[in-house]
Amino acid sequence: MSDSLLNVVADGSSAHLSSFRTRAAELDAADPLAHVRERFLLPTGVIYLDGNSLGALPAAVPEALNDAVHRQWGTDLIRSWNANGWWEAPARIGDSIGAIVGAAPGQVVCGDSTSVQIFNAITSALRMRPGRTVVLADPDSFPTDLYLADSVANLLGAEVRRVPVADVAGVLRAEGDAVAVIAYNHVDYRSGELRDMRGLTAAAHDAGALAMWDLCHSAGAFPVDLDANAVDLAVGCGYKYLSGGPGAPAFVYVAERHLADFAPALTGWHGHANPFGMEAGYTPAPGIERARIGTPPLLSMLALEAALGAYEGVDMRAVRAKGLALTDLFIECVHALGLETLTPAEHARRGSQVAVRHLDPHAVMAALIDRGVIGDVRPPDVLRFGFNPLYIGYADVVEAARLLGDILETKAYEDARYAVRATVT
C-alpha cells in the first residue's frame, strides 16, 4: 500500500486529505456555476457521477410534464398540436440544442432515437457523395455506431473501414477519393478522450469527404462549435449531459449548406413538404424540417425542452473551464490512490469524464454505489466517472475519491454481495 494512499484514506485529520478538502472548498466558493446546481433535484447523500450516461433530474421537468399530461394532453387533447406548439416542437427544441452545440438556428431538429438519427445521417452522407463507397469508423466506437454503419453499408453496397483515430488523416491522404464520410465519436465513451473535431473535419474536406460526429458524450458538457468547425452532420442524444430523461429523443444537425441535398433513408409524413396533403409520393420539406420522420414522442420532447432551461444564462466556456478543473482534481486524487487513469491528461484531448482502471471494476463500483457514489463500468476494466459541471461540485470530487480509497484500502469490494452483477452496469 502506498504512503499516499494511506494518507488519503486516513481520517479527516490527514494533512493530505485536508489539503484536498481545503482546495475544494475554495474552488466551490469561487465557482461561477455553483448556483446552477439549484436547477437540479439531486437526492441527499448521493454524489452523482453518471451524468454521462443519464443526467440528473432538472427541477423544471416534473412541473412541465405535469402540465403536458394534465393540461395539454388531458384538457386540450389533439388541439395541443396547434394551441400548445406541439407541431413546432422538434425544430424549436432543435434550435435550443443548437445554441448549446454552436449551431445557428435552422440546422438542428429533435426527435426519434440516436440510432435512427445515425442511420439517416450516414445514409444521407453516402448519397451526397455518389461514387464514393467507403465509410471510415473508429474500431473502438460505441457499438451501436458500428452496427448502424454496417447496416447502412449492407443496404447501399458500401464498405465500412475501421480506422483508429490516429490513422484517419493518413488514410484520407492516401485513399480519400473513395471515402464518402468519416463517422466518429467526438468523445470516446470508455476513456473520455476528446477527438480533434476541427482537424479531422478539415482532413475529410481536403479529401472531398464529409464528416459526421456523434456528440452523445459532448453535447452539453462543453462547447462543441459545430458551425465554427465546419462540421457537415452531427447526431447526439438528449439524456446524458442535456439531462432530458431516460430515453429522451435525439437530435440531428445538418449544416445549412447541405440541407437541400440531405436525403435520409427513413422518410415519414412529418418530413414531407405538405404533411397534411396526404400525398402518395414523398416530397421533402425545405430546410431542416426534412430531417423529421414520424410523430415524435411529445412527452419526452417536452421534458427535454424543460431540461434545457438549466442552460439559461450559462456560458459554455465556463462549463468547459469547470469541467476541466473537476476532472483535474479527480485525476490528482485517484493518482494519489495509486490508480491508473485512461483519460488523457492534456486538456485539449479530454472530455468531461474520467476512466479509472481496476481489475474488478464491477465489484468496486457496486461498493461505491452502496456508499452513495454513482458511476458506471465499461469492459474490461474501466470505472467510469462523468462530471456534469452544472451540478457537480469540487467537494463532491474529493469525497468520491475518499470513499473510493477507503473501499480499496479495506477491500470492501471483496464482499460476496458485490460479486453479483446487475443487468445494467
Kindly list the catalytic residues: 142, 214, 239-240, 384
> What is d(CA 425, CA 416) in angstroms, rounded to the nearest whole number?
17
Q: 379: cis peptide before it, omega within 30°?
A: no
Angle between helices 298-308 and 60-67 (to 10 degrees): 150
DSSP 141: S
DSSP 3-state assignment of 81?
A: helix
- What is each CA distance from 321 to 186, 195, 201, 218, 318, in whole angstroms? 18, 18, 24, 14, 5
Cell, residue 158: 458500401
Please, how many CA atoms are within 13 Å of residue 246, restricted to the half-sphere of its CB? 0
Cell, residue 323: 469541467
Amino acid (one-letter) located at 111: G
DSSP 387-410: --TTT--HHHHHHHHHHHHHHHHH
Strand partners, 159: 134
> What is d(CA 339, CA 141) in angstroms, rounded to the nearest whole number?
25
Backbone angles phi, psi at 114, to 5 degrees: -60, -40
The residue behind cell 420539406 is 285
* Chain length of the chain: 425
